[in-house]
């Protein structure tokens, strides 16, 4: 036998055996994983398609310069592929994206996804803005904005000053409506009007949230009326304010545990028109002086109950929830999930 032919046969046999021993690499689950196995020529073709179909909105190299359009450079290939497929199939409503990708073949989508995944992500934009203390936490912001109230209403909204209402445990909606009534003049009180006028809508909502989350306490100030007589006289009030002054309606304030002197003066204000409220005026006009004091004494002696208001999640708590899918610090290791640290807001593509 020719020695060269023999050597060739041996070499062929060895190569065949080696090929049989090396496992064939197959794409991971589903077609969405094909981009993970793209080669250099696939990425080059993906770049060509991306530059003609995607760069106009998402910027050269997948780094957007347009507000509202995310960066896609360095994003997970499988994630990009799935999102573009969703636009093609109208699983995500966004007309410009539908038009841009409608006629791209599936093979082109795989290559475009592989191209963008091969790029370095955009660096975070530098910022010189200094954080405002408490700006990330509405409760802390509300506490800071309510600092001027503490002299009369107490640091946590529990007043120890007769004639001054406690604010702790008030429903936020009721609190906001009351403050807006002072601002508009529906409630006459110069100091409260000045304070309310100085609060933005956001600040007012934050103050309301802060007080709603504070533990309410029953007033310790003496009450001039008869509690037993007040309970009978307050029957007509129970429909809105609850049988024992604990309201079930967010827009209607709870009266339980409130300062008796304040309750009496507020009722008189509705009666004489200093506070504008048709329903309250009609009810208050029918009450004699002693009945007003009795009702105030009854409600003042009741145990207050906090509203069903939950404290908003902190930034770290929100981040922890995001990390469950998008990975620690936004760097997901799940191919189908967005790596949020690689994109500029808004998320996702």
Question: CB pairs under 8 A, 24+ apart, for 326-335?
Answer: 332/76, 332/79, 334/76, 335/28, 335/32, 335/33, 335/36, 335/76, 335/77, 335/78, 335/79
> What was the pLDDT predicted at 151?
92
Cα–Cα distances in Å, from 189 out to 54, 149, 179, 185, 274?
60, 14, 11, 8, 9
Nearest residue to 283 via CA among 322, 233, 212, 318: 233
> What was the pLDDT predicted at 29?
47
> What was the pLDDT predicted at 336?
63
Regions of the chain where pLDDT drops below 70? 1-32, 94, 124-135, 327-349
Q: Are 341 and 75 in contact (CB under 8 A)?
A: no
> What was the pLDDT predicted at 130?
55
């Amino acid at each position: 036998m020719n020695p060269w032919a023999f050597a060739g046969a041996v070499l062929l046999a060895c190569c065949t055996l080696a090929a049989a021993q090396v496992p064939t690499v197959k794409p991971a689950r589903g077609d969405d994983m094909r981009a993970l196995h793209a080669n250099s020529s696939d990425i080059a073709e993906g770049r060509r398609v991306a530059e003609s179909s995607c760069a106009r909105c998402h910027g050269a190299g997948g780094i957007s310069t347009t507000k509202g359009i995310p960066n896609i450079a360095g994003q997970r290939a499988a994630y990009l592929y799935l999102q573009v497929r969703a636009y093609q199939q109208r699983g995500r409503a966004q007309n410009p994206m539908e038009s841009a990708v409608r006629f791209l073949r599936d093979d082109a989508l795989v290559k475009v996804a592989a191209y963008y995944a091969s790029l370095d992500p955009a660096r975070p934009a530098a910022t010189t803005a200094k954080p405002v203390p408490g700006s990330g936490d509405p409760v802390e912001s509300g506490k800071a904005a309510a600092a001027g109230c503490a002299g009369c209403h107490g640091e946590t909204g529990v007043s120890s000053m007769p004639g001054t209402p406690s604010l702790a445990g008030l429903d936020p909606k009721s609190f906001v409506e009351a403050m807006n009534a002072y601002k508009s003049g529906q409630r006459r009180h110069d100091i409260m009007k000045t304070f309310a006028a100085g609060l933005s809508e956001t600040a007012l909502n934050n103050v309301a949230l802060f007080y709603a989350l504070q533990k309410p306490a029953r007033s310790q100030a003496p009450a001039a009326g008869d509690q037993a007589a007040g309970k009978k006289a307050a029957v007509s009030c129970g429909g809105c304010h609850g049988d024992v002054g604990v309201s079930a309606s967010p827009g209607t304030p709870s009266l339980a545990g409130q300062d008796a002197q304040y309750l009496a003066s507020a009722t008189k204000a509705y009666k004489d028109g200093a506070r504008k409220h048709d329903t309250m005026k009609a009810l208050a006009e029918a009450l004699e002086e002693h009945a007003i004091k009795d009702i105030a004494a009854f409600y003042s002696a009741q145990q207050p109950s906090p509203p069903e208001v939950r404290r908003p999640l902190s930034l770290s708590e929100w981040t922890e929830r995001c990390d469950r899918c998008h990975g620690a610090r936004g760097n997901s290791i799940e191919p189908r999930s967005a790596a949020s640290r690689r994109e500029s807001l808004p998320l996702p593509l």
